[in-house]
Amino acid sequence: MNFWEYLGNRRQQLLADAFQHASAVFQCMVVATAIGVLIGVLTYRSQWAGNLATTVTSTILTIPSLAMIGLLIPVVGLGVAPTVTALTLYGLLPIVRNAIVGLRGVDPTLVDAAKGIGMSRLHRLVRIELPLAWPPILTGIRVSTQMLMGIAAIAAYASGPGLGNEIFRGIASLGSKNALNQVLAGTLGIIVLALLFDAVYVLIGRLTIPRGIRV
Amino acid sequence: MSETSGPSGPPAAATGATIELEDLTKRYPGSAEPAVDSVNMEIKAGEIVIFVGPSGCGKSTTLKMINRLIEPTSGRIRIDGEDVTDIDPVKLRRKVGYAIQSSGLFPHMTVAQNIALVPRMIGWKKARITSRVEEMLDLVGLDPAEFHGRYPRQLSGGQQQRVGVARALAADPPVLLMDEPFGAVDPITRDHLQDELIRLQHELHKTIVFVTHDFDEAIKLGDRIAVLRERSHIAQFDTPEAILTNPADDFVSGFVGAGAALKRLNLTRVRDVEMADVPTVTVDDPLQRIFDKLRASGTNELLLLDKRHRPYKWLRRGDLMRARGSLARAGTLVHDTVTRDATLRDALEAVLTDNAGRVAVTGRRGEYLGVVDMETLMNSVHEMLEADRLDALEHQHELEEQRSRLTQHEQEGGSGEATA
């Protein structure tokens, strides 16, 4: 059976895996974005708090993903829970860092002007600082998503969902007829998903970054 | 006097409010000297007061304490009699317009959104905001239809600054604070913006506090100028005329710089001086009449006006002869005129560059009004300086009298207590 025949035969299974993969990454990204931006907003004003947040999140990133999931299994069990926890933790770093950098990068004279015309602290954050920091934050989200696409494949190790199952199955039956096809299908599937997500982000950027600050 | 009608109150334009600063002091932790040391100042409703001084003298800090962008360490601020030192700063700032250098426009909002910010925050109705935005754009000389939807980066520096002023004035605050607003634009644009501000102020009568390090700007705009030295100590707080003719000390005269008499020319307009008159004829007059007039006038020159009475050509005796009686070929074209609103400095400039040392003054539609030459200028400048000197002397006498009365009073009071 060549690769194309394999794809045709296993279409149902592959599509279901791809959908679960995408859905896991998407949901984790939503959570990671919310938490990441929140951490950024809470810490960017203070030098040490901001640095601490960046350091902690980058330390998390240095833990090998397989080890992370392995460590999570005794705590949260098998299946979806360790996958979601690990993906969310990994997704934080680029978002937190870019949120802090973006918020700190807002021209201080603009913040001063906003204060000067009588905007409250919350108002300033929502109407001025976050919109101006949005382009770098969105970049962080993009980077995070690409990263999570790959890491999500490891989730199959903890019997999580996604295209990782295909790859692991292939590796387990190495030498058999379909091993290579399985690994190839899983890997290519992840690449295609990553490209699709990136295209969506370009579109989101177009729609959400105001024309006045679009480069 | 002027009641501050609440920003959401009736649309009657809120004119200026008084500002009183009492012992206003700012001390930063870790520095022995205060950055601003006990400033006392009373600013009248509807006047433009300029804070001018060298960089680092605390003028900007003093300004920012008025809307409490910088919280004063001690002292009081009163706006229209109301003590605002301890009220919610956000509420205070919505009543005080604020315009800064390089406009401070938010780049992610359109011109209209920028201007609408404060009215939206204080809860104006949508329709009212829309019409207010158009009105403000109109007021600062930008075509609403064209600029409404633009983003700040699509505007020139001068246009951005205008929008900045429009935003500051949008909710009709009685007080406007301007922190070197024209510092970052080129000299020609700055000149235009200054003229615009003067025109605006004629219409609006806000109380404006304006910070600059440019003394010429201060003279041009200020009703009164506060010359500040380090730690915001007031070296002199007086009208531009008084500061120019009678600087309080070496610091002020150093800051005024050379050429006080020349700068004085900026303060007077052509309409305030006596104009000379030259005989005029119009292009419709028959040649014979022109000859008669030349002969009768005793002067050497006639000013030829066009059909709409605008200066057209200077005609000298003999010009017509040389041109064999043809008006089209005779005389020299008038290439420079000044308006009645031009400063004497502009007029002097025009007189100096004119080859015959005179320049025609025109009215609003360019019609001829009179002529200014070296002699009229000299006479009026002499008169002006003399009058200023007298004023200054009188002013000084008054101050001295006041002071002596005060000390006398204190001494009497002191001795009274001692004997009691």
Alpha-carbon distance A25 to nearest alpha carbon in chain B (angstroms)? 30
Yes or no: say if B136 and B169 are a contact pair by the CB < 8 Å rule.
Answer: yes
Q: Are residues B241 and B278 in the same domain?
A: no
More confident residue, B356 or B149: B149
Query: Among A106, A111, A112, A117, which would you mutate to test the B interface (most chain B Cβ atoms within 10 Å of its Cβ)?
Result: A117
Q: Are residues B134 and B31 in the same domain?
A: yes
Domain with residue B87: its CATH number is 3.40.50.300
For residue B3, what pLDDT is reported?
41
Asked if A207 has any chain B CB less than 8 Å from its own CB, the reply is no
Summary mean pLDDT of chain A = 88
Comparing CB atoms, the residue among A116, A131, A212 nearest residue B69 is: A116
Query: Among B117, B118, B165, B175, which would you mutate to test the A interface (most chain A Cβ atoms within 10 Å of its Cβ)?
Result: B117
- Single-letter amino acid, residue B48: I
Mean pLDDT of B233-258: 83
Comparing CB atoms, the residue among B108, B109, B118 nearest residue A117 is: B118
Comparing CB atoms, the residue among B67, B102, B105 nearest residue A116 is: B67
Mean pLDDT of A124-136: 92
Residue of A nearest to B67 (CA): A116
- Is CATH 3.40.50.300 correct for A3-213? no
**pLDDT tens per residue, range B147-173:** 988 999 999 888 898 899 899 988 888
Question: Which domain-ending residue is among B361, B377, B393?
Answer: B377
Q: Are residues B235 and B328 in the same domain?
A: no
Domain with residue B346: its CATH number is 3.10.580.10
Q: Are residues B84 and B129 in the same domain?
A: yes
Q: Are residues B231 and B160 in the same domain?
A: yes
Alpha-carbon distance B104 to nearest alpha carbon in chain A (angstroms)? 5
Q: Do A213 and B101 touch (CB under 8 A)?
A: no
Q: Do A118 and B93 touch (CB under 8 A)?
A: yes
> How far apart are the C-alpha atoms of B269 and B339, rounded to whole Å?
9
**pLDDT tens per residue, range B324-352:** 667 777 788 888 888 888 888 888 888 88
**Which are the contacts of B71, defined by CB distance < 8 A and separation ≥ 6?**
B65, B89
- Among residues 91-130 of chain A, which lie with CB inside 8 Å of chain B? 109-110, 112-120, 123, 128
Q: Are residues B245 and B287 in the same domain?
A: no
Residue B8's pLDDT band, with cuts at 50, 70 and 90, is very low
> How far apart are the C-alpha atoms of A102 and A129, rounded to whole Å?
9
* Domain ranges within chain A, ordered by starting residue: 3-213
Comparing CB atoms, the residue among A116, A118, A213 nearest residue B100 is: A116
**Is B263 a domain residue?**
no
Long-range Cβ pairs for the range A54-61 (8 Å, 24+): A54/A93, A54/A96, A54/A97, A54/A100, A57/A92, A57/A93, A57/A96, A57/A97, A58/A93, A58/A97, A60/A89, A60/A90, A60/A92, A60/A93, A61/A90, A61/A93
Q: Chain A to chain B, count of Cβ pairs less than 8 Å apart?
A: 64
Mean pLDDT of A166-191: 86
Q: Are residues B252 and B332 in the same domain?
A: no
> How far apart are the C-alpha atoms of B259 and B110, rounded to whole Å?
44
Alpha-carbon distance A112 to nearest alpha carbon in chain B (angstroms)? 8
Which residues on chain B are in Cβ contact (under 8 Å) with A112? 69, 100, 104
More confident residue, B389 or B170: B170
Answer left, alpha or beta for residue B104, where phi above 0 means left and psi between -120 and 50 means alpha: left
Yes or no: say if B66 and B42 are a contact pair by the CB < 8 Å rule.
Answer: no
Burial A101-118 (b: 16+ CB within 10 A, else e): bbbeebeeebbbbbbbbb
Mean pLDDT of B68-77: 90
A106: closest CA among A125, A86, A122? A125
For residue B325, what pLDDT is reported?
67
Residue of B nearest to A122 (CA): B90
Question: Given a cut of 60, is residue A166 above it in pLDDT?
Answer: yes
Beta strands B48-52 and B207-212: pairing type?
A: parallel
The helix or strand, by DSSP H or E, that contains position B38, with its residue range, turns out to be: strand B36-43
Residue A179's pLDDT band, with cuts at 50, 70 and 90, is confident
The helix or strand, by DSSP H or E, that contains position B165, with its residue range, turns out to be: helix B157-169
Q: What percent of chain B has pLDDT over 90?
A: 14
**Is B382 a domain residue?**
no
Residues from B contacting A (CB-CB < 8 Å) are: 67, 69, 90-94, 96-98, 100-102, 104-110, 117-118, 121, 151-153, 167-168, 177
Q: Is A79 exposed, middle or buried (0-12, 13-18, 19+ CB in 10 A)?
A: middle
Q: Are residues B159 and B104 in the same domain?
A: yes
Comparing CB atoms, the residue among A109, A117, A210 nearest residue B93 is: A117
**pLDDT tens per residue, range A96-123:** 999 999 999 999 889 989 998 889 899 9
> How far apart are the C-alpha atoms of B65 and B50, rounded to whole Å?
15
Residue-range definition of the domain harbouring residue B343 = 272-377
**Is B11 a domain residue?**
no
Q: Are residues B253 and B116 in the same domain?
A: yes
Q: Do A212 and B153 touch (CB under 8 A)?
A: yes
**Is B4 a domain residue?**
no
- Three-class SS of residue A132? helix
Alpha-carbon distance A175 to nearest alpha carbon in chain B (angstroms)? 58
Mean pLDDT of B74-80: 89
Q: How far is CA B179 from CA A79, A98, B58, in A?
A: 61, 32, 12
**Sign, CA torsion B212/B217/B220/B226:** positive
**pLDDT tens per residue, range B264-323:** 787 788 888 888 888 888 888 887 888 788 777 777 788 888 888 888 888 887 777 777
Residue of B nearest to A107 (CA): B104
Which residues on chain A are in Cβ contact (under 8 Å) with B110? 212
**Is B13 a domain residue?**
no
Question: Given a cut of 80, is residue B13 above it in pLDDT?
Answer: no
**Is B396 a domain residue?**
no
**pLDDT tens per residue, range B182-208:** 887 888 888 888 888 888 888 888 999
Comparing CB atoms, the residue among A114, A120, A211 nearest residue B151 is: A211
Residue of A nearest to B108 (CA): A212
Question: Given a cut of 60, is residue B2 above it in pLDDT?
Answer: no
Residue of B nearest to A212 (CA): B108
For residue B339, what pLDDT is reported?
85
Q: What percent of chain B has pLDDT over 70?
A: 93
Which residues on chain A are in Cβ contact (under 8 Å) with B91? 118
Question: Which domain-ending residue is among B257, B284, B308?
Answer: B257
> How far apart are the C-alpha atoms of B289 and B287, rounded to whole Å?
5
Total structural domains within chain B: 2
Which residues on chain B are in Cβ contact (under 8 Å) with A212? 107-110, 151-153
Structure tokens, B58: 């605390």
Mean pLDDT of B79-101: 87
Residues forming beta bridges with residue B303, ordered by sequence position? B280, B314
| Local structure of residue B76 (DSSP, 8 states) | E
**pLDDT tens per residue, range A35-87:** 999 999 999 988 899 889 988 888 888 888 888 888 888 888 887 888 888 88
| Local structure of residue B281 (DSSP, 8 states) | E
**Is B384 a domain residue?**
no
Summary mean pLDDT of chain B = 83
Residue B53's pLDDT band, with cuts at 50, 70 and 90, is confident
**Is B110 a domain residue?**
yes
